[in-house]
Chains A and B, each alone.
Chain A
């Protein structure tokens, strides 16, 4: 009997040896949501009757523009969640309120830049005000921001008098909107008019590569920006790997190179697709700016470190000479500022503001953070994870809209995704013990 059990165990051992050697389990654990994102995208692009539809250039642009507010708000929310699972329920209302002020100002003829500045400052002010209650008076964040959620929804209605206000300021719409004009113009073609001769249907090799329908409109600037971004990324990454090697930091170098190649390929593919469809949307610039700045803040700066430390162990952080109250205050003032920016983008996309805009935005932002692996107790979570979370939600929404799923069921699916994502997170942490 003993020989039999040994014989039975052997292949299983071999499989588990293989899994251990190549860290398959750890890989899946770390990249669960990335894999899910890829799987969902492939799933929708193979959907019978709608093959490839979700990957069309116009849909990719739309995906970015429709989810701009999620990226911006989720970034702010992530910082709050890092401080200990605190959330900000008021952002939806603050988005509406700042947008309302800005729209009314512009309708009254104020300069666009002044309106933008005022919107950002009001967002920052509201954030700082709520942060004051949370950090100094120690009102639980949930309650302080719930109060803000009611109050600023009410104020929005007051400012708007209950009616929609439209934006007619074209330069505002061009910078922050998502209409036909809200793309980075193809200035490379303007500088080198000769390029127009190259990008023609007659140039068959190029036309077949880009696609007959797109070749004449192909946005060279967008493609160039993509290329420059990729080259800069590779240079930075390679330098980082070299430094790691010098210091003897043990991180899998092949793994990092594979990740680098995959990300570069993705960015190039994206810029190609965008170039086929009018070029680089302004929205994407704002999103990239916010994500880049906050990825840097959270990983490289002292205040970023303080956010993680407070969420991980507030008492230890205080005893390390860090003013924990200011950390909370920073997080909430910051999300106010980003809510102001989200208000600008929301108003720009809708070409105006309606008193009900922004409802439920806070929940989308919270969901993106948690799907992206932020801990509900604070202390862990990354901007990169949050991006994946927001993209996953965005792709699911877009995909379901394309294949024609009822809007009500879309919400059901969102709920299920959130639950499953957090379940994975909890289970993977439990295994470690």
Chain B
């Protein structure tokens, strides 16, 4: 057994009205990768904020013992001085500044009134090479992709002489390829003796990199699982700890719904990038959805799935459209208008619920009715009582956990926000629902409930297009699966024929053909 680098002992942290952490004990050995998992609201981020000094000493009880010393951090600077560096989920880079400027922001080289730019950029370049980035540190951050930005964050942490690196959901905005590269980078750092804590929802990543896994539930440590066995820890094993019960079936069974006629069909659908019109973001896509069917669209990040869905939804993304959209067999000439799409009973449930989906400063009620205000108003005057009744109805139907529909959406958890977003689009009474990553960033229990809603929609005769980058989800939920890669549909499979292997093969094969 190695030396214990960090021990957090009996940490208790209360917010007004809630006990966020309850006697949490947590040990990290030197040179290991320790995964911290748990449902949303289990207290992972709170624990790391206590560790890094965001919640200063005195606002919690318990001890932090780091490198044999009891520590009392009152700011982030204090913990960073000892080499504890946290990389937050949301990237904290200033897009307009260069990589080098970002890396040394608040930690400038040279004198406070005379920054040494030569030293800044040469040092920055050195760290960029360590994380495997070829970019010059004089490049503006906004010109590089999210995957590379994440690497810049890590380089920034290295520049702070990190000994204990904490990564909060580092791969949540990365595609599969970049995620893998990042995890491999973590493994190579481990070989050099770095200690890391990774917080993540993606359990396959946990099994891949972690030496130990600590499970938090409702602000308490449930268990620490050792991942040194011959077989990697199974996801079911981790989930059992997280939800406190065995999830024998992660996807609800669907009753055998008779699948009807083709409701929506696109053929030779091509869309160009709004800023670089010569680039195709959707390339000659043909697909259809039948009544009562759940059609999965799987593809890696950047494959063009969101672009496809948004371009169908009232041409709300892209330029220079070509191809044909048919609803119930009749060609539809849709204008560049979301209202037009809603009128044709198409709904697009965005992947970015906070950015594009919900008005966080407004109540559940207001959000529920927003896409279909006409239905609750006469002569543009809103009937407040009817609106309330509608919101109540959906709150019950979708089991949104809230004291009242007057609650602000910004105060809800991710899973409940997602349900409000679904409620909003279900109230718009669509026939065709384009669901873009409907379970992103929500916990296992809420995911199951969302799956049930999807099944209910299909059973009610709606057409559901389920876009997802989680393979098991697509496999578990769909009747039929389209696989997208590089703006094109590269394969179509019936659910019975699809497996993880042949989907990945289809993607790889199409990539090779393109070369």
Contact = CB atoms under 8 A, between A and B. Distances in A.
Contacts of A380: 361
Contacts of A313: 355-361
A319 B348 contact: yes
A250 B173 CA distance: 40
A321 interface: yes
Chain A contact residues: helix, strand, loop or mixed: helix
Contact of B350 (A300, A317, A319, A323): A319
B101 interface: no
B385 A317 contact: no
Given A309-B366, A319-B350, A303 B361 contact: no
A305 interface: yes
A191 interface: no
Contacts, number: 94
Given A301-B381, A302-B380, A308-B366, A319 B359 contact: no
A321 B342 contact: yes
B348 A379 contact: no
A318 B359 contact: no
B206 to A, nearest CB: 29
Contact of B341 (A250, A317, A321, A379): A321
A312 B341 CA distance: 23
A8 interface: no
Interface string A316-330: 111111110000000
Interface string A9-33: 0000000000000000000000000
A353 to B, nearest CB: 36
A309 B362 contact: yes
B428 to A, nearest CB: 8
Given A319-B316, A320-B371, A301 B382 contact: yes
Given A250-B404, A305-B370, A318-B338, A312 B360 contact: yes
Contacts of B358: 313, 316
B356 to A, nearest CB: 5
Given A315-B355, A315-B356, A318-B338, A309 B388 contact: no
A285 interface: no
A214 B340 CA distance: 64
Interface in A291-305: 300-303, 305
A301 B340 CA distance: 21
A191 B474 CA distance: 80
Interface in B101-119: none
B505 interface: no
B389 interface: yes
A369 to B, nearest CB: 16
A247 interface: yes
A320 B339 CA distance: 7
A219 interface: no
Contacts of B350: 316, 319
Contact of B385 (A243, A318, A319): A243
Interface residues of B, number: 40
Most A CB contacts (10 A, CB to CB) among B371, B389, B424 go to B371
A301 B359 CA distance: 17
Nearest to B358: A316
A156 interface: no
Contacts of A320: 338, 342, 370-371, 424
Nearest to B424: A320
A309 B369 CA distance: 11
A65 interface: no
Interface string B385-405: 100110010000000000110
A318 B316 contact: yes
Contacts of A249: 388, 404, 406
B360 A247 contact: no
Contacts of B361: 308, 311-313, 375, 379-380
Contacts of A375: 361
Given A247-B388, A305-B382, A317-B370, A312 B339 contact: no
Given A247-B389, A302-B377, A305-B382, A321 B339 contact: yes
B337 to A, nearest CB: 8
B373 interface: yes
B359 A303 contact: no
A319 B314 CA distance: 9
Contacts of B371: 320-321
B381 A309 contact: no
A300 B348 contact: no
Most B CB contacts (10 A, CB to CB) among A309, A316, A323, A432 go to A316
Contacts of A432: 411
B277 interface: no
Contacts of B362: 308-309, 312, 379
A316 B339 CA distance: 13
Contacts of A302: 373-374, 377, 380-382
B384 interface: yes
Contact of B338 (A305, A319, A379): A319
Contacts of A308: 359, 361-362, 366
B356 A316 contact: yes
Most A CB contacts (10 A, CB to CB) among B316, B356, B359 go to B359
A302 B404 CA distance: 22
A250 B404 CA distance: 8
Interface string B321-363: 0000000000000000111111100001010000111111110
A6 to B, nearest CB: 16
A319 B382 contact: no
Nearest to A240: B384
Interface string A366-404: 000000000100011000000000000000000000000
Interface string A351-366: 0000000000000000
Contacts of B388: 247, 249
Contacts of A247: 385, 388-389, 392
B187 to A, nearest CB: 36
Nearest to B380: A302
A314 B350 CA distance: 14
A300 B381 contact: yes
A320 B392 CA distance: 20
Contacts of A311: 361
Interface string B424-458: 10000000000000000000000000000000000
Most B CB contacts (10 A, CB to CB) among A300, A315, A319 go to A319
Nearest to A378: B361
A60 B208 CA distance: 75
Contacts of B377: 301-302
A312 B370 CA distance: 12
Contact of B339 (A305, A309, A315, A322): A322
Contacts of B360: 312-313
A250 B411 CA distance: 18
Interface in A212-267: 243, 247, 249-250
Nearest to A20: B17
Interface in B222-268: none
Contacts of B411: 432
B359 A316 contact: yes
A177 B361 CA distance: 41
Contact of B357 (A250, A301, A316): A316
A313 B358 CA distance: 7
Interface in B6-63: none
25 contacts: A250-B404, A300-B384, A301-B377, A301-B380, A301-B381, A301-B382, A302-B381, A312-B359, A313-B355, A313-B359, A313-B360, A315-B356, A316-B350, A316-B357, A316-B358, A319-B313, A319-B356, A321-B338, A321-B343, A321-B371, A322-B338, A322-B339, A379-B359, A379-B361, A432-B411
Interface of B: 313-314, 316, 337-343, 348, 350, 355-362, 366, 369-371, 373-374, 377, 380-382, 384-385, 388-389, 392, 403-404, 406, 411, 424
Which 5 interchain pairs have the tightest Cβ spacing? Answer: A312-B359, A321-B339, A320-B371, A379-B361, A321-B342
Given A249-B388, A249-B406, 7 more contacts: A250-B403, A308-B362, A308-B366, A309-B362, A320-B371, A322-B339, A322-B370
